[in-house]
Chains A and B, each alone.
Chain A
């Protein structure tokens, strides 16, 4: 599945949010949401992005789509450097990159019928003639497994899982090459999660859709992705093949994996419980951002930032100990 032709390449992406304070709204600090993130996404590839809440996963997803402006770094989509594209320049490109949101209750306009909501991107890009709009929308509804009568209904008439399908149908309407799925299943219960994940997986196989699948759930990511990228506090800790997850090198990945429950009551395993909280992105730790919680931290970790490097084939780790 892994194709050498990159669809998306992100190089050293930095995003900081200014913190305004004081009477005249002076900038008093900066939130370091992303500090030099690099990413590579091939055609038809699913990359899973995992990390704790607040580690910059969502910011990365939105910055790639230029829904928030990057502070520094490069975003190369389809060979085009779109980093400094204006909103006007981005508009025609938007039909090739879409987003699916975490909260299915907030992602649909409560005043719009499903038919209108799904056909909106089609109307914006004038892809389908007006007469065939409805037909196309009904087709999309059936792709995501919804009944035809959804067309005239309003979002409040649907459950969370159905709404998430609607969100996916909307994202697919323009036949995008890349979909950023921003925690598409974390608001859903387990049985629905499986349906949505299988749906995304099918779409990937059928249409060769590339996915950046953001989640905080390693179990889900392992199931759907080809490659997994682990983030912590705005930095990439480890990138590896989904199949090799059990051989992860980075202490953070290892501790995350040890927290995944196993469906066997007799199973004994060593849990690595991380002490303390995620440090504030307002004032990230020096050196390796993980050193404050790392069970194996050495003196060097406090001063020197570890670079992401190839530890093994298809396994990049940012750790001094590997």
Chain B
């Protein structure tokens, strides 16, 4: 008896076969790592401080801001950058020893150097740090918004395609109406009413974006519901929920995955565009679009303000698109068993 290889394992093997897929996935994983560990990567609080024979881990107060058990009363109000070290005193900073909101008016628009890897903006804030924290915003908007609309789209599309008839009629007309709205301007208009915030952006992208997914899923359901293997399941007495979600849905997931990863990319773009226009995440929260927006006024003297966030957005979107396309190929039903 051969060893059982689960479906997910099979897909992963298939996916991993191509170097471009590996590259895409590694980029996405890297982005996730940066987003998750940004407080450790970039912080104005040092990892470790030894002063007057006492040892401190000041960064912990930043990572767990509400904890009561890590509290250094004697460090309050200290500027770690200007601390004077004597004897065996030691201080260890994170790789990027700045916080994204820490301004320094003595160093505005400093070009990239060993001190500021990607330079500083007009308020002397470190661009590297802002990019690192901006990845949190981008990824969370991308994933939450797409998560909302994939869920909506799959359920609505599945019901429309499976039941057909009146249900399908109503859903299809609703989709057509929603698709007639110019989404970006709708988002702008709604944000003007309910106020720009991260959650509002996620919510609005989520409830306006589901039509594409729903159309894909509906079309596949229309095609699949009359297939013999579906009839066989119905003939064996399965309930509609089981037929829809266990038997038909897995066969429609390939285009949904592809569409979702393109969706993550475009949601990140929308968020950047909104921030660029000032309707996005509000300052001083760092966002890639916001850095780009600042760069407008200094494009001729501070190229780094344009290039680095632009490249970050470009790589992120490319990576998600690569993952989507790789998945599409890997989920193909004529899977080879792999090596």
The answer to whether residues A156 and B231 also contact, given A91-B237, A95-B237, A148-B1 and a CB cut-off of 8 A, is: no
Residue of B1, B2, B234, B236 near A174 (CB, 8 A) is: B236
A121 CB → nearest B CB, Å: 4
B4 CB → nearest A CB, Å: 5
Q: Who on chain B is nearest to A167 by CB?
A: B232
B239 is an interface residue with CB less than 8 A from chain A: yes
**8 tightest A-B contacts by CB?**
A94-B237, A121-B236, A107-B228, A110-B333, A101-B228, A106-B228, A109-B229, A91-B237
Q: How far is the CA of A316 from the CA of B293 in the complex (A)?
A: 87
Q: How far is the CA of A151 from the CA of B1 in the complex (A)?
A: 9
The answer to whether residues A170 and B333 also contact, given A91-B237, A124-B242, A148-B1 and a CB cut-off of 8 A, is: no
Write out, one digit per residue, whether chain A residues 135-158 have a CB within 8 A of any chain B CB (1) or not (0).
Answer: 000000000000011011110110
A90 is an interface residue with CB less than 8 A from chain B: yes
**Pairwise interchain contact A106-B235, C-beta atoms closer than 8 A:** no
Q: Could you tell me which residues of chain A, from 92 to 110, have a CB within 8 Å of some CB in chain B? A: 92-95, 97-99, 101-103, 106-110
A55 CB → nearest B CB, Å: 20
Binding site for A on B (CB under 8 A): 1-5, 7, 227-229, 231-239, 242, 247, 250-251, 333-335, 337
Q: How far is the CA of A129 from the CA of B90 in the complex (A)?
A: 65
**Pairwise interchain contact A111-B235, C-beta atoms closer than 8 A:** no
Q: Who on chain A is nearest to B231 by CB?
A: A67
Q: Who on chain B is nearest to A94 by CB?
A: B237
**Pairwise interchain contact A149-B1, C-beta atoms closer than 8 A:** yes
**Pairwise interchain contact A111-B232, C-beta atoms closer than 8 A:** no
**Pairwise interchain contact A99-B237, C-beta atoms closer than 8 A:** no
**Pairwise interchain contact A149-B237, C-beta atoms closer than 8 A:** no
A residues within 8 A CB of B250?
A: 109, 111-112
**Pairwise interchain contact B229-A99, C-beta atoms closer than 8 A:** no
The answer to whether residues A98 and B236 also contact, given A111-B333, A148-B1 and a CB cut-off of 8 A, is: yes
Q: How far is the CA of A167 from the CA of B233 in the complex (A)?
A: 11
B55 CB → nearest A CB, Å: 55
Write out, one digit per residue, whether chain A residues 66-110 have a CB within 8 A of any chain B CB (1) or not (0).
Answer: 010000000000000000000000111111011101110011111
The answer to whether residues A101 and B232 also contact, given A91-B239, A94-B237, A111-B250 and a CB cut-off of 8 A, is: yes
**Pairwise interchain contact A110-B4, C-beta atoms closer than 8 A:** no
Q: Who on chain B is nearest to A122 by CB?
A: B236
Q: How far is the CA of A124 from the CA of B239 in the complex (A)?
A: 8
The answer to whether residues A124 and B237 also contact, given A109-B247, A154-B335 and a CB cut-off of 8 A, is: yes
A9 is an interface residue with CB less than 8 A from chain B: no
The answer to whether residues A111 and B7 also contact, given A120-B233, A121-B236, A156-B334 and a CB cut-off of 8 A, is: yes
* Of B7, B229, B247, most A-chain CB atoms within 10 Å: B229
**Pairwise interchain contact B235-A98, C-beta atoms closer than 8 A:** yes
**Pairwise interchain contact A120-B236, C-beta atoms closer than 8 A:** yes
A residues within 8 A CB of B238?
A: 120, 124
A residues within 8 A CB of B236?
A: 94-95, 98, 120-121, 124-125, 170, 174
**Pairwise interchain contact B2-A149, C-beta atoms closer than 8 A:** yes
Residue of B3, B7, B234, B337 near A67 (CB, 8 A) is: B234
Q: How far is the CA of A133 from the CA of B238 in the complex (A)?
A: 17
**Pairwise interchain contact B2-A152, C-beta atoms closer than 8 A:** yes
Q: How far is the CA of A167 from the CA of B2 in the complex (A)?
A: 22
Q: How far is the CA of A167 from the CA of B242 in the complex (A)?
A: 19
A residues within 8 A CB of B1?
A: 148-149, 151-152
**Pairwise interchain contact A107-B232, C-beta atoms closer than 8 A:** yes
Residue of B5, B251, B337 near A109 (CB, 8 A) is: B251
A residues within 8 A CB of B235?
A: 65, 67, 94, 97-99
**Pairwise interchain contact B239-A110, C-beta atoms closer than 8 A:** no
A residues within 8 A CB of B5?
A: 152
Seed contacts A97-B235, A154-B335; 12 additional CB < 8 Å A-B pairs: A67-B231, A67-B234, A94-B236, A99-B231, A101-B232, A106-B228, A107-B232, A110-B333, A120-B238, A125-B236, A148-B1, A174-B236
A45 CB → nearest B CB, Å: 21
**Pairwise interchain contact A156-B333, C-beta atoms closer than 8 A:** yes
A124 CB → nearest B CB, Å: 5
Q: Who on chain A is nearest to B337 by CB?
A: A157
A residues within 8 A CB of B234?
A: 67
Q: How far is the CA of A151 from the CA of B3 in the complex (A)?
A: 11
**Pairwise interchain contact A121-B237, C-beta atoms closer than 8 A:** yes
